[in-house]
Structure 1
Amino acid sequence: MQTLARMTIDTPVGPFTALVTPAGAVRAAGFTTDPEPLLALVHPRLRAPVRDSPPAGPVDAAVADYLAGDLGVLDAIVVEQHTGGPYREHAWRVLREVKPGQPVTYTGYAELTGRPRAVRAAAAACAYNAVALFVPCHRVLRTDGGLGGYRWGLDVKKWLLGHERQLTPS
């Protein structure tokens, strides 16, 4: 039976954990050490038992490189999430194209998906994103420019946006 490796790395805003397949695809990730809330985000067909794994793989290296300033390194990491809905899956692919330091509003995000009136559906794609950081839902802001929500806390979202802003050439 396939298992998911639980890899945790320390960050300036707390521990970051990813649940990773043997092939190296991230199925869930977030700012926690507890695998249970992460596993709950994984679609039932993609769930598997979780085992601890020391940080040493490509996913951990990519997160460390991101934290060190290589903001594009996470783009190469494969993610696997499934909802059964083609719009949400498309929206997640589009979200991976939003560049660091260039956040968009929910309205702008809906436009990028090709459905400018689907603001609520775009927001739902952010809310149901299981692979934080790799699918950068933290780069989506309220229409008035406010932070909006973030599953891992507004302090984390604010730090991530500031980290990317300071490292992105103007």
Structure 2
Amino acid sequence: MHCILPSPCGPLRIEATPEAITRVQFLDDEVLPVAAGSPLLAEASAQLAAYFAGRRQHFDLPLAPHGTLFQQQVWRALQEIPWNQPCSYTDIAAAIGNPRAVRAVGAANGRNPIAIIIPCHRVIGANGSLTGYAGGLARKRWLLAHEAGS
């Protein structure tokens, strides 16, 4: 099941099983909103709308992203990045106890299926530069500025 949520960064497709959110992805084409067909999708939509309105900094949703064990480990570490506290791929590699896995962390970050809720947008280059983002650098820049209160 899924729904489409309008956002300041473009429409978001939210997918879920009856038990957990499995995907949040940006859509590049304008589409009409699709109402949430389950209580979980309705709650995810409400929490994301509150995030965009500046009223929510943390998400409280059951998540079930599909990926390898390594990707799952990286995605759990991403969820520990505090609001408005960007960090580097090196920081995440160290956090998972594998400091030499910086490139692999970058690849796992890029395959994060649950945008915003698993805040991969908070990962930047070690030199402070914006690096790739599956949703596009303009969206990443917007999300970081939103969290910084700009």
- What TM-score, normalized by structure 2, do the two folds share? 0.86
Q: What residue is the counterpart of 1:61 in the other structure?
A: 46
Is 1:7 aligned with 2:3?
Answer: yes
CA distance in 2, matches of 1:134, 1:164: 13
Q: Report the number of matched residues.
A: 143
Structure 1: tracts of 5 or more residues without a match: 35-51
- How many angstroms does 1:53 deviate by? 5.0
Partner-residue secondary structure (3-state), 2:6:
strand
Partner-residue secondary structure (3-state), 1:19:
strand
- What TM-score, normalized by structure 1, do the two folds share? 0.77
CA distance in 2, matches of 1:69, 1:13: 14
Q: Map 1:124-143 onto structure 2 (within 5 A).
A: 124-143=107-126
Equivalent pairs: percent with the same residue? 36
Q: Aligned in 2, Cα 1:111/1:70: closer, same or farther, shift over 3 Å?
A: farther
2:25 equivalent among 12, 16, 30:
30
CA distance in 1, matches of 2:93, 2:146: 25
Q: What residue is the counterpart of 1:45 in the other structure?
A: none
- How many angstroms does 1:65 deviate by? 0.9
- How many angstroms does 1:123 deviate by? 0.6
- How many angstroms does 1:153 deviate by? 0.7
Q: Could you say what the CA RMSD is over the residues aligned between the two structures, in angstroms?
A: 1.9
- How many angstroms does 1:61 deviate by? 0.4
Q: Map 1:1-170 onto structure 2 (within 5 A).
A: 5-23=1-19, 25-32=20-27, 53-55=34-36, 57-74=42-59, 76-83=60-67, 85-166=68-149
Structure 2: tracts of 5 or more residues without a match: none
Runs of at least 4 residues off by over 2 Å: 70-73
Question: Is the deviation greater in 131-140 or in 14-23?
Answer: 14-23
